[in-house]
Structure 1
Amino acid sequence: MKIKQMVRENNRLQELMTPSNLKYYEDMVVYIRTSAVNEARGEELLLEMAQHLLDAQSKGKSAKEVFGNDPEAYCAELVENLPKLKGLSQIQLSLMIPWVALTWFFFAQALVGFFTMMTGGNVEKMSQVRISTLLLVAAGSYILIKLIMNLMNKDAFQPEDSKRKINIRNMGIYIAVVVVILVAGVWLGRSLPVLIIPPWASLVIFIVGLIGTKVFFSRK
């Protein structure tokens, strides 16, 4: 079964769980999916766990009775025994975030450029793209996404009250990271050159980016 098929089947099985079992299981899903494990093996494990939980649920058992009172320790042990992402997969994951961010950045550039052309605005000015902006988009997207994934992993089994408190802290971390990235972008913008990329070129880059996303990063 392919990864997309396993994810769809997993979602279907979750709809059959009781609210309490679903809440327990969802935390396990977040923990395993945000861990650096082989994606296919991780999804296979989650599917097995969902089926096992539903079998137990049909007999009147709860998720705690099936997986224990310490789901975090249970998942940590499972993750430890799962095959880790191979070097190429880790590189792909690291490249995918800035790749996608830059792809959609050029889509926005193309839209703004064509709109400017239709309204008789200064197309040359709107075609200016700072290298510092590209670095800002690439680095900023990577840092923020990795930060969110790490925080989701750590927060997976926290009580709801604790999650609300932690989310305030998380928001502060996000804001601090964004400020640092913006300051770095302004500082770099003074020293790095500006590229002239017309709207049609931005559109071509966007299309190439979409094709590359499908070829290099799509789930099998």
Structure 2
Amino acid sequence: MNTKQMIKENNRLQDAMKPNNLSYYQDMVVYIRSSSVQEQKGEELLLEIAQHLLDAQAKGKSAEEVFGSDPESYCKELVEQLPKMKGLSSLQFHLMIPWVALTWFFFVQALVGFITMWAGGPVERMTQVRISTLILIAGGSYVLIHALLRWMKNDAFKPEEDKRKVNARNIGIYVAITVLILVGGVWLGRLLPVLTIAPWISLVIFLIGIAGTKLLFSSK
């Protein structure tokens, strides 16, 4: 069973869980999937946990009775035993976010350019792409997604009332990082040149990006 099939099977098993068991299990899913373990091994573990939980549920047991009252420690111990992403897999993990962000940027660039051409507007403005903008999109998307993953992992096993609370410290950190990225983008914009990219070239770059996404990052 490949990774996509395991995720599909995982979703099917979750449909059979009682609400309290489902909530407990979904926190485990968030924690394990946001950890730096090999995706295949992580999904195999989640399937084993889900099947074990359903077997226990059929006998009238709850998730807490099966896995304990401290699921975070339980998951942490399991994750430490799983192989971490190494070599190319680790590189793929870090490269995927900026790659996808830039791919869809060029799709928007192409779409707006073609619409502007069709409407008879100033196409020249739509063909100008700052290198600093590309750096900003790549870096900003990377920081944002990794910050989100860390936040999800840290909040996975918190009580529902705590999850709803706004963490001022974390928000302050994210805002500060965002401001630094924006300031850096403006500063780089004064130093780096502007590229002229026609809409059809942006479309070609987008298609190459989509092909590369399937080739380099799709789960097998």
Match of 2:134 in 1: 134
Q: Deviations over 1:47-70 (max 9, x none)?
A: 010000000000000000000010
Q: Which moved more, 1:80-89 or 1:70-79?
A: 80-89
Distance 1:73 1:125 in 2: 54
Q: How far 1:187 moved relative to its partner?
A: 1.1
Quote the offset at 1:171 in angstroms: 3.9
Between the two proteins, the alignment pairs up a number of residues equal to 220
Aligned residue identity for 1:204: V
Moved more, 160-169 or 95-104: 160-169
Aligned-partner Cα distance in 2 for 1:65–1:119: 64
Following superposition, the deviation at residue 175 of structure 1 comes to 2.9
Residue matched to 1:81: 81
- Structure-2 residue corresponding to 1:26: 26
> Which residue matches 1:48?
48
Deviations 1:190-218 (A, max 9, x none): 11100000000000000000000000000
Identical aligned residues as a percent: 69
Look up the SS of the partner of 1:129 in the other structure: strand
Partner of 2:148: 148
After superposing the two structures, state which structure 1 stretch, 152-161 or 209-218, moved more. Answer: 152-161
TM-score, length basis structure 2 = 0.97
What secondary structure sits across from 2:191 in the alignment? coil
**1:178 offset after TM fit, Å?**
2.0
Q: Which residue of 2 aligns with 1:214?
A: 214
Distance 2:171 2:29 in 1: 23
What SS does structure 2 have at the residue aligned with 1:190? helix
Shift of 1:174: 3.2
The one-character-per-residue Cα deviations of 1:110-136 (angstroms, maximum 9, x if unpaired) are 011111111111111210000000000
Q: CA RMSD in A?
A: 1.1
Deviation readout 1:153-200 (Å, 9 max, x if unpaired): 111101112112245554444333222211111111011100000000
**Alignment-derived partner of residue 60 in structure 1:** 60
Query: Which deviates more, 120-129 or 52-61?
Result: 120-129
Q: How does 1:181-196 map to 2 (within 5 A)?
A: 181-196=181-196
Rounded to whole Å, the distance in 2 between the matches of 1:195 and 1:108 is 16
Comparing 181-190 with 193-202, greater Cα deviation is found at 181-190
> Bigger CA drift: 170-179 or 60-69?
170-179
One-letter code of the match for 2:86? K
Report deviation, 1:87. 1.7
Separation in 1, partners of 2:197, 2:19: 52
The residue correspondences of 1:151-170 to structure 2 (distance < 5 A) are 151-167=151-167, 169-170=169-170
Q: Which residue of 2 aligns with 1:15?
A: 15
Secondary structure of the residue aligned to 1:83 is coil
- For 2:23, what is the secondary structure of its paired residue? helix
